[in-house]
Amino acid sequence: MEPIPVAILGATGVVGQRFVQLLDGHPWFRVTTLCASDRSVGKTYREGCRWLLDTPMPAWASTMILQPTTAEAVNEPIAFSALPAEVALEVEPQLAQKGCVVCSNASAHRMEEDVPLLLPEVNAEHVELIHWQRGRRGWRGAIVTNPNCTSTGMTVVLKALDRVFGVKRAIAVSMQALSGAGYPGVASLEIVDNVIPFIRGEEEKVAWEPRKMLGTLQNGQVVLHPIVISAQTNRVAVLDGHMVCLTVECESRPTLEETIHVLETYTVPEFIADLPSTPRPPILVRLEEDRPQPRLDRMSGRGMSTVVGRIRADEVLDLKMVILSHNTIRGAAGASIYNAELIVRAGWLA
């Protein structure tokens, strides 16, 4: 198979860098355009990007010239977007209009009813919304979004539980990594010897996004799942890896053994089981008393697995547990790439 050319929008930021890193050597995709904001356009990627990852910047990327963030600059069939919401709002539809499938990490279009909020392990069938999106908007391309980095791991777990036990209510308290705030993001003076119990806009997303992803597709519309979620989100001094302490109420109270079994045996649909980014396993259950931990477990399944531990019966609701997922891989760049792979496999490229 000929590699598919792809563009990265917002290529110099924390998530943009992850796109570059994860697409280095990708078996299906080859990056042919890197877009950045005005102050970096015309520079090489090496000059325009403050690279913060601990693997070296790929040589092919370092000499690429940064392009403007416009529809004209992108002629690839797939664009990965790490744009700020307000820029995404404008540029992503223009790209979809001209035939590009935009796999977007931006929050701008997640709530629109004909835009898939896609997590292949959870709602691969929602990719069908592209059909309705194209019909309604007259686009040849499409916009497909992935969820907020904190929603990601808990939605995978909620889905696994929901299929068997039905989920009714959940309380999520997060401890989130610094990379989730981008660069420069959180000032060091604010986080050394500290915790910040507030992340703007985050709790609303964590409460709503899982309902769309767990929802059912009916006649081109997603019927939201009735689960009620309460979120408290906190920033801690961790580089990568969002942890969520989750407490869940189910329709029928499962035993611990049932819960562990259901999570460990959770699989993705057959037709996407062999995509390059499919997490192996989708859910990794750790039985030690003190796992998962961000530094030790965030790279499980090359950063794509959802890691669950400390599964216990809960005294107030039914179950409690700790969930970890890598926020800039499974929760951002890896998510968009995985979505793109699903789209290619399902034949939705323009």
By CB under 8 A, name the binding residues for its own copies.
14, 51-56, 169-171, 173, 175, 178-179, 183-198, 207, 228-230, 232, 234, 236-239, 243, 245, 247, 249, 289-296, 298-300, 309-310, 314-317, 320, 322
Cβ count within 10 A of residue 25 = 10
Which residue's structure tokens are 């913060």? Answer: 52
Q: Is 242 a catalytic residue?
A: yes
- DSSP state letter for 316: S
Give the C-alpha separation, 315 to 1, whole Å.
Answer: 54
| Least spacing, CB of residue 14 vs its own copies, in Å | 7
Question: How open is the CA angle 233-113-98, to the nearest 5 degrees?
Answer: 110
CB closer to its own copies out of 110 and 211: 211
Active-site residue identified among 109, 126, 225, 242: 242
Q: Which of 35, 49, 100, 149 is catalytic?
A: 149
Three-state SS for 304-331 is CCEEEEEEEECCCCCEEEEEEECCCHHH
Distance, CA of 334 to CA of 299 (rounded, Å):
12
Closest CB to its own copies among residues 92, 297: 297
Least distance to its own copies, CB of residue 196, Å: 6
d(CA 332, CA 10): 13
> Which of 175, 206, 196 is closest to 293 using CA atoms?
175
* Least gap, CB of 300 to its own copies (angstroms): 8
Residues 270, 272, 276, 278: is their CA dihedral positive or negative? Answer: negative
C-alpha span between 213 and 216 (Å, rounded) = 8
Q: Would you say 121 and 155 are in contact if contact means Cβ atoms under 8 Å apart?
A: no
Find the shortest distance in angstroms from Cβ 234 to its own copies.
Answer: 7
- Cα–Cα distance, 242 to 279 (Å, whole number): 17
Tell me the closest approach of the beta carbon of residue 182 to its own copies, in angstroms: 9
Amino acid identity for residue 74 in this structure: V
- Give the C-alpha separation, 327 to 83, whole Å: 16
The distance of closest approach from Cβ of residue 282 to its own copies in the complex, given in angstroms and rounded to an integer, is 17
Active-site annotation, residues:
149, 242
